[in-house]
Chains A and B, each alone.
Chain A
Amino acid sequence: MTGMTISLAIWVPIAFGVAVLAVGNDRNPALGRWTALAGSILGFLACVPLWTGFDLKSAGMQFEEMAPWIARFNVNYHLGVDGISMPLILLNSFMTILVVVAHWEVITEKVSQYLAAFLVMSGLINGTFAALDAILFYVFFEAMLIPMFLIIGVWGGPNRVYAAVKFFLYTLLGSLLMLAAFIYLYWQTNGSFEILDYHKVPLGITAQVLVFLAMFMSFAVKVPMWPVHTWLPDAHVEAPTGGSVILAAITLKIGGYGFLRFNMPIAPDASHALSGFMIALSLVAVVYIGLVALAQSDMKKLIAYSSISHMGFVTLGFFLFNGDGVLGGLIQMVSHGFISAAMFLCVGVLYDRMHSRQISDYGGVANTMPVFAAFFVLFAMANSGLPATSGFIGEFMVVMGAIKVNFWYAFLAGTTLVFGAAYTLWMVKRVLYGEVANEHVAALKDVGRRELVFLVLLAVCVLALGVYPKPLADVMNPTIQQLLAHIAESKLQ
Chain B
Amino acid sequence: MDLYTLCLVAAFAPLAGAAAAGFLGWKLGRTFAHTVTILSVAVSLAASLVIFGKVADGATLDQTVYTWMTGENWRLQVGFLIDRLTVTMMVVVTFVSLMVHVYTIGYMADDPGYQRFFAYISLFTFSMMMLVMANNFVQLFFGWEAVGLVSYLLIGFWFKRPTAVYANLKAFLVNRVGDFGFLLGIGFVFAAFGTLDYAPVFQAAPRYAQMLVEIVPGSEWSLVTVICIGLFIGAMGKSAQFPLHVWLPDSMEGPTPISALIHAATMVTAGIFMVSRMSPLFEMSQAALSFVIVIGAITAFFMALIAIVQTDIKRVVAYSTLSQLGYMTMALGASAYSAAIFHLMTHAFFKAVLFLGAGSVIIALHHEQDMRKMGGLRKYMPITYATVLIGALANAGLPPFAGFFSKDSIIEALHLSATPGAGFAYALALAGVFVGGLYSFRLVFFAFHGKERFAEGGHGHDEHAAGHDDHSSGKAVASGDSHGHAPHETPWVVTLPLILLAIPSVFIGWFAIGPMLYGDWFGKAIVPTATLAEMAKHFHGAGAMVVHAFTSLPFWLALGGAATAWYLYIVRPDLPAIIKAKSGFLATLLERKYYFDEFNDWFFAGGARKLGHGLWLWGDRTIIDGIMVNGTAKAIGWFAGVARRTQTGFVYHYAFTMIIGVFGLLTWMFWRAGG
A-side residues, CB < 8 A to B, are 166, 227, 230, 288, 291-296, 322-324, 327, 364, 366-367, 377, 381, 386-388, 392-393, 396-397, 399-400, 402-404, 407, 410-411, 414-415, 417-419, 421-422, 425-426, 429, 432-435, 468-470, 473-474, 477, 480-481, 484
Q: Does B56 contact A (CB under 8 A)?
A: no
A386 interface neighbour in B72, B145, B609, Cβ under 8 Å: B145
A323 touches B72 (CB 8 A): yes
CB-CB under 8 A from A473, the residues of chain B are 69-71
Q: A230-B620, A288-B615 are known contacts. Are A468 and B169 too (CB-CB below 8 A)?
A: no
B187 interface neighbour in A230, A388, A403, Cβ under 8 Å: A403
Shortest A211–chain B CB gap in Å is: 24
B:85-132 near A, CB below 8 Å: none
Closest to B621 in A: A230
Q: Does B643 contact A (CB under 8 A)?
A: no
Shortest B638–chain A CB gap in Å is: 17
CB-CB under 8 A from B629, the residues of chain A are 166, 230
A414 interface neighbour in B68, B142, B184, Cβ under 8 Å: B184
A295 touches B609 (CB 8 A): yes
Q: Does B571 contact A (CB under 8 A)?
A: no
How many Å lie between the Cα of A292 and that of B612 in the bound state? 4
Shortest B15–chain A CB gap in Å is: 11
B68 touches A470 (CB 8 A): yes
CB-CB under 8 A from A295, the residues of chain B are 609, 612-613, 615-617
Pick from B45-53, B159-167, B332-340, B402-410 the stretch touching chain A.
Answer: B159-167
Shortest A19–chain B CB gap in Å is: 39
B71 touches A327 (CB 8 A): yes
Closest to A474 in B: B70
The contact sample of 15 A-B pairs, CB cut-off 8 A, is: A230-B620, A230-B625, A291-B608, A292-B616, A295-B616, A327-B71, A366-B159, A381-B149, A392-B145, A402-B187, A417-B176, A417-B183, A421-B176, A432-B159, A477-B70
Interface residues contributed by chain B, number (CB under 8 Å):
52
Q: Does B179 contact A (CB under 8 A)?
A: yes
B609 interface neighbour in A294, A415, A468, A481, Cβ under 8 Å: A294
B70 touches A434 (CB 8 A): no
Q: Does B380 contact A (CB under 8 A)?
A: no
A227 touches B184 (CB 8 A): no
CB-CB under 8 A from A468, the residues of chain B are 66, 68
User: Which of A388, A404, A417, A469 is the most central at the interface, judged by chain B CB atoms within 10 Å of its CB?
Assistant: A417
Shortest B253–chain A CB gap in Å is: 12
Closest to B226 in A: A407
Shortest A254–chain B CB gap in Å is: 21
B141 touches A387 (CB 8 A): yes
A417 touches B179 (CB 8 A): yes
CB-CB under 8 A from A480, the residues of chain B are 72
B-side residues, CB < 8 A to A, are 66-73, 138, 141-142, 145-146, 149, 152-153, 156, 159-160, 162, 165-166, 169, 172-173, 176-177, 179-180, 183-184, 186-188, 190-191, 213, 215, 608-609, 611-613, 615-617, 619-620, 624-625, 628-629
A292 touches B176 (CB 8 A): no
A477 touches B72 (CB 8 A): yes
Shortest B240–chain A CB gap in Å is: 17
B71 touches A421 (CB 8 A): no
CB-CB under 8 A from A433, the residues of chain B are 156, 159-160, 165
How many Å lie between the Cα of A377 and that of B22 in the bound state? 15
User: Which of A291, A327, A399 is the most central at the interface, judged by chain B CB atoms within 10 Å of its CB?
Assistant: A291
B71 touches A324 (CB 8 A): yes
Q: Sorted from nearest, which 7 A-B pairs have the closest CB atoms?
A: A323-B72, A403-B187, A291-B612, A294-B612, A295-B613, A295-B612, A433-B165
A294 touches B608 (CB 8 A): yes
How many Å lie between the Cα of A232 and that of B138 in the bound state? 34
Q: A292-B620, A417-B176, A433-B159 are known contacts. Are A399 and B187 too (CB-CB below 8 A)?
A: yes
CB-CB under 8 A from A381, the residues of chain B are 149
Shortest B544–chain A CB gap in Å is: 47
Shortest B485–chain A CB gap in Å is: 31
CB-CB under 8 A from A396, the residues of chain B are 138, 141, 183
CB-CB under 8 A from A421, the residues of chain B are 172-173, 176
How many Å lie between the Cα of A324 and that of B629 in the bound state? 36
How many Å lie between the Cα of A399 and that of B142 in the bound state? 16
How many Å lie between the Cα of A296 and that of B187 in the bound state? 32
Closest to A402 in B: B187
A291 touches B173 (CB 8 A): no
B620 touches A434 (CB 8 A): no
How many Å lie between the Cα of A415 and that of B613 in the bound state? 18
Shortest B168–chain A CB gap in Å is: 8
CB-CB under 8 A from B190, the residues of chain A are 400, 403
Shortest B497–chain A CB gap in Å is: 29
CB-CB under 8 A from A293, the residues of chain B are 612
Q: A288-B615, A386-B145 are known contacts. Are A429 and B188 too (CB-CB below 8 A)?
A: no
B620 touches A425 (CB 8 A): no
Shortest B503–chain A CB gap in Å is: 36
Closest to B613 in A: A295
B173 touches A425 (CB 8 A): yes
B173 interface neighbour in A402, A407, A422, Cβ under 8 Å: A422
Shortest A51–chain B CB gap in Å is: 18
A388 interface neighbour in B146, B160, B169, Cβ under 8 Å: B146
CB-CB under 8 A from B628, the residues of chain A are 227
Closest to B78 in A: A467
A367 touches B160 (CB 8 A): yes
How many Å lie between the Cα of A470 and that of B169 in the bound state? 32
A411 touches B184 (CB 8 A): yes
Shortest B113–chain A CB gap in Å is: 10
How many Å lie between the Cα of A434 and that of B156 in the bound state? 10
Shortest B578–chain A CB gap in Å is: 41
B191 touches A403 (CB 8 A): yes
Shortest B157–chain A CB gap in Å is: 11
CB-CB under 8 A from B159, the residues of chain A are 366, 432-434
How many Å lie between the Cα of A473 and that of B68 in the bound state? 10
CB-CB under 8 A from A474, the residues of chain B are 70
A230 touches B624 (CB 8 A): yes
CB-CB under 8 A from B71, the residues of chain A are 323-324, 327, 397, 473, 477
CB-CB under 8 A from A402, the residues of chain B are 187
A364 interface neighbour in B153, B160, B188, B213, Cβ under 8 Å: B160
A435 touches B160 (CB 8 A): yes
How many Å lie between the Cα of A386 and that of B162 in the bound state? 24
CB-CB under 8 A from A470, the residues of chain B are 67-70
A410 touches B616 (CB 8 A): no
CB-CB under 8 A from A425, the residues of chain B are 152, 169, 172-173
CB-CB under 8 A from A403, the residues of chain B are 184, 187-188, 190-191
How many Å lie between the Cα of A414 and that of B230 in the bound state? 12
CB-CB under 8 A from B67, the residues of chain A are 470
How many Å lie between the Cα of A422 and that of B72 in the bound state? 33
CB-CB under 8 A from A426, the residues of chain B are 169
- Besides A411-B184, A470-B69, 12 other A-B contacts (C-beta < 8 A): A294-B613, A366-B159, A396-B138, A396-B183, A410-B187, A415-B180, A421-B173, A429-B165, A435-B160, A470-B68, A474-B70, A480-B72
Shortest B116–chain A CB gap in Å is: 9
How many Å lie between the Cα of A455 and that of B412 in the bound state? 57
CB-CB under 8 A from B179, the residues of chain A are 417
CB-CB under 8 A from B72, the residues of chain A are 322-324, 327, 477, 480-481, 484
A388 touches B142 (CB 8 A): yes
How many Å lie between the Cα of A261 and that of B624 in the bound state? 29
B145 touches A387 (CB 8 A): yes
CB-CB under 8 A from B68, the residues of chain A are 468-470
B616 touches A414 (CB 8 A): no
Q: A294-B612, A425-B173 are known contacts. Are A469 and B69 too (CB-CB below 8 A)?
A: yes
B615 touches A292 (CB 8 A): yes
CB-CB under 8 A from A322, the residues of chain B are 72
CB-CB under 8 A from B146, the residues of chain A are 386-388
B66 touches A291 (CB 8 A): no
How many Å lie between the Cα of A366 and that of B215 in the bound state? 45
CB-CB under 8 A from B611, the residues of chain A are 291
